[in-house]
């Protein structure tokens, strides 16, 4: 396989896109904010299976951070990310830059109603506007056949799918399972904000979701009782501030009346310096992949 290419400008990306199109190739796209972990790399590996050219972008998009959020301190590791993407089999890494992506007087945005308004949209009022605007720009420049997203950010997958449908974008959205650490904590670049003791306690998010999935598997169908099962371990966890823990319709994200045959548990909480989100389907899908640290290090040949 030829060496991974690194590009930084939209002009370079357009040239690459035209080159792939001229030989009838299919581009698979994995957008990220960097500080890459095995969850991100699982998307690259999935893209590898159905596309001949895999492009991953790394861009800490200022537009999706609200005032007082962690834009400045968000972890950045360009060299490490390039090495990880190469090891995972990406053909191209697009390290986008703010000056190239946004004109100084940029003033056009994608605003979505419906599923973007509640939950993360309520907690972070300009977040999805920033996400959708940058994703539309990235898609317009690259025009990938397929777009790979992690279920870790469940509401984001719903909101992006909706934009793709509503605005007639010609890309297929592929949602991939959440990759977890052995205790169940969903891998996230923001886990770096957790102290070791907090990292252990953060597993309660997944424990609460699993307890709700178990209750559902055993026949519980009442939405209020399911939400109580979801909330109670979270409310009992010392130092954790719960923002929301709800059971919703998997497509509209609206509250369910019951009996709940299908749905999604969605959780957001603060722990120490981190704001954590997680989710799980009802009924549970195939078990999420768990990566133990040895496997994780082996896959990231750059570790250690």
Binding mask 65-104 for ligand AMP (x = CB under 6 A): ----------------------------------------
Reading the block at residue 122, the tokens are 């309520």
Reading the block at residue 32, the tokens are 């990220």
Q: E-assigned strands of the chain?
A: 5-7, 27-32, 53-58, 92-95, 146-150, 172-176, 240-248, 263-271, 274-282
Verify binding: residue 121, ligand AMP, rule CB under 6 A.
no
94 contact partners, CB below 8 Å, separation of at least 6: 7, 8, 13, 55, 56, 57, 58, 59, 142
Q: Are 234 and 205 in contact (CB under 8 A)?
A: yes
Of 17, 124, 137, 152, the one binding ligand AMP (CB under 6 A) is 152
Query: Among the candidate windows 21-29, 45-53, 146-154, 254-262, which touches ligand AMP by CB under 6 A?
Result: 146-154
CA 115 to chain centre: 16
Query: Among the candidate windows 37-45, 119-127, 164-172, 224-232, which touches ligand AMP by CB under 6 A?
Result: 37-45
| Count of residues of this chain found to bind ligand AMP when the rule CB under 6 A is applied | 17
Query: Among the candidate windows 32-40, 94-102, 113-121, 163-171, which touches ligand AMP by CB under 6 A?
Result: 32-40
Active site residue 40: yes
Q: Are 186 and 152 in contact (CB under 8 A)?
A: yes
What sign results for the dihedral spanned by CA atoms 73, 79, 81, 82? positive
Query: Among the candidate windows 69-77, 113-121, 172-180, 273-281, which touches ligand AMP by CB under 6 A?
Result: 172-180
Of 37, 40, 127, 216, the active-site residue reads 40
Of 17, 42, 46, 248, the one binding ligand AMP (CB under 6 A) is 42
DSSP character for 180?
A: B
Verify binding: residue 150, ligand AMP, rule CB under 6 A.
yes
Task: Tell me the angle at which helices 78-88 and 38-50 cross, rounded to the nearest 10 degrees.
Answer: 40
* CB-CB neighbours of 262 under 10 Å: 12
**What strand order describes the sheet that includes 53-58?**
5-7, 92-95, 53-58, 27-32, 146-150, 172-176
Verify binding: residue 33, ligand AMP, rule CB under 6 A.
yes
What residues from 175 to 204 belong to the interface with ligand AMP (CB under 6 A)? 176, 178-179, 186-189
CB of residue 5 vs ligand AMP: minimum separation in angstroms? 20
Cβ-based nearer residue to ligand AMP, 33 or 83: 33
Residues contributing to the site for ligand AMP (CB under 6 A): 32-33, 39-40, 42-43, 149-150, 152-153, 176, 178-179, 186-189
Residues annotated as catalytic are: 40
């Amino acid at each position: 396989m030829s060496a991974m290419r690194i590009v930084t400008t939209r002009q370079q990306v357009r040239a690459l896109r035209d080159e792939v199109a001229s030989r009838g190739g299919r581009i698979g796209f994995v957008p990220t904010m960097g500080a890459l972990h095995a969850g991100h790399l699982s998307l690259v590996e999935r893209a590898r299976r159905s596309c001949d050219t895999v492009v991953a972008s790394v861009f800490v998009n200022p537009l999706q951070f609200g005032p007082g959020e962690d834009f400045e301190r968000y972890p950045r590791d360009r060299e490490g990310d390039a090495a990880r993407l190469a090891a995972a089999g990406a053909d191209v890494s697009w390290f986008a830059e703010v000056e190239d992506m946004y004109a100084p007087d940029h003033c056009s945005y994608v605003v979505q109603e419906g599923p973007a308004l509640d939950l993360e949209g309520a907690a972070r009022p300009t977040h999805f506007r920033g996400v959708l605007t940058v994703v539309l720009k990235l898609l317009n420049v690259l025009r990938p056949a397929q777009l790979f997203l992690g279920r870790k950010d469940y509401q984001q997958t719903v909101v992006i799918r909706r934009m793709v449908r509503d605005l007639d974008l010609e890309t297929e959205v592929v949602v991939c399972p959440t990759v977890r650490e052995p205790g169940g904590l969903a891998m996230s670049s923001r886990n770096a904000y957790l102290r070791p003791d907090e990292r252990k306690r953060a597993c309660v998010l997944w424990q609460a979701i699993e307890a709700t999935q178990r209750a559902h598997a055993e026949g519980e169908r009442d939405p209020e009782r399911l939400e109580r099962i979801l909330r109670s371990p979270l409310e009992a966890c010392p130092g954790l501030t719960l923002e929301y823990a709800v059971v919703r319709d998997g497509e509209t994200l609206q509250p369910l009346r019951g009996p709940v045959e299908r749905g999604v548990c969605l959780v957001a909480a603060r722990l120490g310096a981190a704001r954590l989100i997680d989710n799980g389907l009802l009924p549970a899908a195939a078990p999420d992949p768990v990566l133990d640290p040895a496997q994780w290090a082996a896959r990231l040949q750059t570790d250690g």
